[in-house]
Structure formats: structure tokens, C-alpha cells
Amino acid sequence: MREIHARFGNLSLYLDNHYCTASATAAAARCPRALSIHYKSMDIVLTVTMVHGKEEGLTLFDQIPVSSGFSKNGVLVSVLGTTTMRVDIPALGVSVTFNGQVFQARLPYSLFHNNTEGQCGTCTNNQRDDCLQRDGTTAASCKDMAKTWLVPDSRKDGCWAPTGTPPTASPAAPVSSTPTPTPCPPQPLCDLMLSQVFAECHNLVPPGPFFNACISDHCRGRLEVPCQSLEAYAELCRARGVCSDWRGATGGLCDLTCPPTKVYKPCGPIQPATCNSRNQSPQLEGMAEGCFCPEDQILFNAHMGICVQACPCVGPDGFPKFPGERWVSNCQSCVCDEGSVSVQCKPLPCDAQGQPPPCNRPGFVTVTRPRAENPCCPETVCVCNTTTCPQSLPVCPPGQESICTQEEGDCCPTFRCRPQLCSYNGTFYGVGATFPGALPCHMCTCLSGDTQDPTVQCQEDACNNTTCPQGFEYKRVAGQCCGECVQTACLTPDGQPVQLNETWVNSHVDNCTVYLCEAEGGVHLLTPQPASCPDVSSCRGSLRKTGCCYSCEEDSCQVRINTTILWHQGCETEVNITFCEGSCPGASKYSAEAQAMQHQCTCCQERRVHEETVPLHCPNGSAILHTYTHVDECGCTPFCVPAPMAPPACVWHPALRAPAAHLGLAPP
């Protein structure tokens, strides 16, 4: 709701909603979370918060929490019960209540007629234009109209649920003073609106719309709504002067729990009397439901909610101080006088002070301050104040400097002159003195500067011979000013250096001998390293030298291949002829039994062969078939088998260009 034309402080109300999860069969519902009231330059937010597991009302005035009885710039804040908050603007006759779910706004028709818009309708006392939309047209139902007045909020993703679509429009429900049929079963709490509990109010506020809303919300799965609907209807009845004690008829389902020091009243004063009522803002008229002090007690003030039998004194902390009660505040002893019920205070007594101590030393001044053990009583002491110390420094002659010392118990430092000194390695030296430096072979001198403090200058003693021959480096020796040449590499016969752990080969003598540079007892020597060659002592073949080592090549009996040209009757072809070749073991030794030499001979011969037939190509273009023996396997046999006779054929080797006999072949 807001003013169309800002005539009275641009008054506007905004209901901040959050999405409530309904039951599986209920439609989405809107749940009020906070009510914002904007008036002139003020922002008042009414909301609820959880305190020790219970909901309590929270009022924020320009983002600052305030309590019941707060007033500022013509705006009054009060709390009725535990969660019902109320804001009144007496100058305009405006009152707004909110309990965290339901709110009511009362505006005087004389000031706001034809000047409001929004979901609360137009202030014309005519229900026909209550469903006016933002574009000026009238919606089919106020439910459809309400969606057009949604205000975007950059802090949230939107007013609707995160998923799903907004509720669809439904036809307008007729406004009637009698209940309309509903498909939901009756709710006994909702039926109280139609009962004798509210009989006096039925003619003033027709219960039909409230009853229908109570049933509808209950069908949506919101079990707490019947109590809220009854509370809203009872509030309208009280505004018209009708008080209904309806909570007692709910069987404890809608009870309003009050603190132990207060009692529940269905209709009490909106602004209860307090001990400082004369200092309060103008009294508000009307009735309100809530928790009130018992009949024989009165509120201490409108802020604390404390009930007292009689108005007591007010302590420095704002809490009540009862007659005869004593306390200390601001170094005064106070008491709530029993006769006048007023606060009477007198200064606390202090012990007499002795003669203040003399402060005659430089920098010490007399100061009166509260005592540490009793801050309400003063004491006079001497304290050090360095700002009162003498500021002039002594003028020292040339070659001397001014030094500052601070004696224990003194406030101001003492300055005096002394000869200028050089400080080096914890020792002081006069200007011109020479002394050994911290580093070996260094001499230092204390030098005086014209405008600066004396400085120490050190120089290294010069060493004449620092050049070393090849393979040696100049290195310092501990305890000596000059170093010496230390060997760092091996030297070859021609004087070339070989670094430690590196190798060298004398290519002029033997490329197969490798020398390693090693250090032993501070002497660098080239040590020959044995070559790593395989053992060929049991080789039965031939030895071949590869690099610096010999390798064994055993010539064993095996099948070998030779490319040969077969020739017969003028026809020829090229084939791969296999044959046996290689060494076989043999031995000759003396036999004692036979008293003679015994010979064991084996020869390399074929073990398995087969016949191979190939075509021979003739000059006239024809071809003839020719068969020769192909060796498949060779081995060493104890005796040599003579070769069998083969068909006449010629073998023509391309390199020799002459016939030759071969295994299995014979010349023609």
C-alpha cells in the first residue's frame, strides 16, 4: 500500500514474503516475513526472530533494533504480547499491527480517501474498486490483482517459488456476509467466527470473508492459520469497540503465553499506564490484546516491561530502585528515600591527604589523580614529565662528542662531552689508532671525519706471489696471511691438466689404456684402469679383435646358402643352393689299453634332404624341369658318407662364369 500523491510523508507499506512449502495436495502459499513502513525519511521494519527457540517480535527503526515504548519524530512503537508489534503515527491517526504472519493497517478516511493504491485496495469505503490493478483496470479477482503489485527486489531471485509457475488466476469470489460452500471439511476453530463468541461483532464486521479465508488457508496445509484468522477478526472487532475473549474457547489451541509477571487480557489499553506516564508521548486510545500487569501493579516504564507494586526510584542504569535500596554511582552514595521515593545522593567520604611530596628534581611534576585502590578519592604524587626536561645540549670542543646517559630513578637524561672513539668488534679506539682486523691479514685504522662520527677503515695485507702453474690453484691457509699453490688436477706427460675423477687416453702409445685422475694423500696421480673385455679363453672358433678387446666367433656346422645358376642342355635358371659347412670336433689321443693312438673324427654332413624341382629357361623360350637335392639339416657325423650320384647338370656361378661340382650335382 502507498499514497498515490505524497501528501502525508509519502506513507507506504511493503510486505516482504518468502515461499512456504505446502503439503503435497496443497497449492503454493505466501508467508509474510517482514512488514516495511516508510514514512518521511524513516524506515520501520516489523519482523520476528527466534530467541531461545521461541518467536519474538523485532522492530528495526532505521536498521537499529528498538524496544516497546520507543518514539521518534512522531512515530510510536509498542509490542502487544510476544510477537504482535504496533506502529502509531498519532498526527495522522494511522496505526499498523503485525505479528509475523498477519498485518492490519488503519487509515483515517478523512485524510487518505481516494489516495491509496496497492494490494490493500483504494481507500474509498467501496469494495467495488478494491481489485484495481497497477494499470488502472479492475481485475476479475483480487487474487489476480495482487500479482500486478509485486515489487522486484534485487536481494532475492523473485517472489515466486524457485521452480514451478505462479498460481493461475481464478474467478472472483463473491463478497458475502454468509459463509460459502467449500469442498474442505469444516475446521472447528474457524467455526468460532460464526459462533456466539463473536455474536456482538457480526453486524459490525461480517465474518463471511474471514471464515472463507480461514477454511481456504487450512486446506492448503497451514495448520497455524485458524488461530491467525481468529486473531485478525478479533482485532477488527476490538477496533469497533467489541471485545471477545475467543482464546478461552479454543481449548488451549490458540493460547497466548505471557511472562510469569504478567497476565493475559483480551482487551487492555493500547498504551498502558506507567510510572512515568506524565513524561510519555500523547496517550493512544483504543483496546489491544496482550500481556498486562496484574490489577494491583503498574508498569515501571514503557521500555522494560517490568511490573511494580508502587512506582519506585529510577537507578542510573534505568532499572527500578525500591525504597531503602542503596547503591554507588559516579562516586556518590545514593539511596531511594522511603518517604519521598526519590533518589538522594552525597559524595563518598575520602581520607585526609598528607603533605604532597616535593618535586625538585628535573622533569618531575606534581599531579593529582584518582587513587588506584579507590578511584573516587584523589591523591597527589610526583610523576615524570619529559616535556619539562632541559632542552639545551652542551657544546663539545673539537675531537669530542656529546653523550647521553640515563641514571636509574632520574626523569631527564644527562649529557656530557668525551673524546670521539671508534667502536670495532666490541672495543673502542681513539682517532688515529691502528689495530688488527677481524679477518686475517687485515689492519684497521680509526679515522676522524670533519662532520661525521669517526669511522673504521680496514685493508688487507698484500701477498706477492699468487700466480700458480697449470694444475694448481692459489688458496688461503688458515692462520697465515698469504696462501699457497695447491694441486687441483693431474698432469699428463706433455703437461696438460686432467681434472679430478676425469679420464685420459694416451693416444700416442695405446688407445686401449684408460687413465683415471685420483687424489691420494693430497697428490694427484693418473692411474691406469683395466679394460673390461669378455673371457675368450674357452673359444673353439676364431678370435676377432674389436676395438680394444677380442671376441670369439665359433664356426659351427650348419646349413649355408649360396646363389647358383643351374645349366642343362642349354637351359638355365638361378636358385639358392643349400649346403653343409663348418667345423666339427675331433680328437687324437694315446690309449693305454690299445697301446696306440686313437682317433675320433667327425665331419659336417647333411642329415636331412629333399628333392627340389625347378624350371630351366631355354633360349627358344621354352622351359624344362630339373630336379636337384636341397639340404634341410646339417650335423657332425662320426664318419663321412660319400655323396650319391646325381643326374648330370651344370652349375654356373655368375661370378666365376665356369661350371663347378657341388653337393648333389655333377658336371655334365
Q: How large is the average pLDDT for residues 562-582?
A: 89
Residues of the chain above pLDDT 90, percent = 10
Phi, psi (rounded to 5 degrees) for 208:
-55, -55
547/549 Cα distance (integer angstroms) = 6
Of the spans 218-232, 495-509, 608-622, 648-662, which averages the highest pLDDT?
A: 608-622
pLDDT at 645: 53
75/91 Cα distance (integer angstroms) = 9
Question: Of the ranges 6-20, 22-36, 217-231, 236-250, which one carries the lowest mean pLDDT score?
Answer: 22-36
pLDDT score of 618 more than 80: yes
442/465 Cα distance (integer angstroms) = 18
pLDDT at 617: 92
> In 249-401, which ranges are continuous DSSP H helix?
none
pLDDT at 222: 63
Residues 448-493 have pLDDT tens digits of: 766 677 888 888 877 777 788 888 888 877 777 778 888 888 988 8
258/403 Cα distance (integer angstroms) = 79
Residues 255-272 have pLDDT tens digits of: 888 888 899 999 888 888
499/515 Cα distance (integer angstroms) = 12
pLDDT score of 525 more than 90: no
Tell me which amino acid residue 646 is: A
Instruction: Please report the DSSP string for 366-381 in residue order.
Output: EEEEE-SS-TTSEEEE
Q: Strand 116-117 to strand 103-106: parallel, antiparallel, or no bridges (unpaired)?
A: unpaired
Instruction: Please report the DSSP string for 118-143 in residue order.
Output: STT--SSS-GGGTTB-TTSPBPSSHH
Query: Which three three-digit cell numbers place residue 580?
Result: 653343409
How far, rounded to the nearest angstrom, does the alpha carbon of residue 273 sit from its chain's CA centroid?
Answer: 55
DSSP tally for the chain: helices H, then strands E: 5, 46
All structural domains of the chain, each given as residue ranges with its CATH number in brackets, are 2-250 (no CATH), 256-308 (2.10.25), 472-529 (no CATH), 558-652 (2.10.90.10)
pLDDT at 608: 92
Burial of 487 (0-12, 13-18, 19+ CB in 10 A): middle
Query: Which three three-digit cell numbers place residue 164?
Result: 514451478
Quickly state the pLDDT bin for 13 (edges 50, 70, 90): very high
543/534 Cα distance (integer angstroms) = 12
83/228 Cα distance (integer angstroms) = 12
- Helix (H), strand (E) at residue 231: helix 225-239
pLDDT at 168: 38
Residues 426-456 have pLDDT tens digits of: 888 888 888 888 887 788 988 876 667 788 8
pLDDT at 409: 85
Residues 60-105 have pLDDT tens digits of: 999 899 888 788 898 988 887 667 888 999 889 899 988 877 788 8
The pTM of the full predicted model, rounded to 2 decimals, is: 0.46
Query: Which three three-digit cell numbers place residue 582?
Result: 663348418
Q: How large is the average pLDDT for residues 183-204?
A: 85
pLDDT at 50: 78
287/265 Cα distance (integer angstroms) = 10
* pLDDT: which is higher, 556 or 134: 134
Cα distances (angstroms) measured from residue 563 to each of 101, 362, 612, 658, 664: 111, 126, 15, 14, 15
486/480 Cα distance (integer angstroms) = 15
Sign, CA torsion 532/536/541/542: positive
pLDDT at 601: 84
pLDDT score of 214 more than 80: yes
Helix axes 208-219, 225-239, angle to 10 degrees: 160
pLDDT at 570: 87
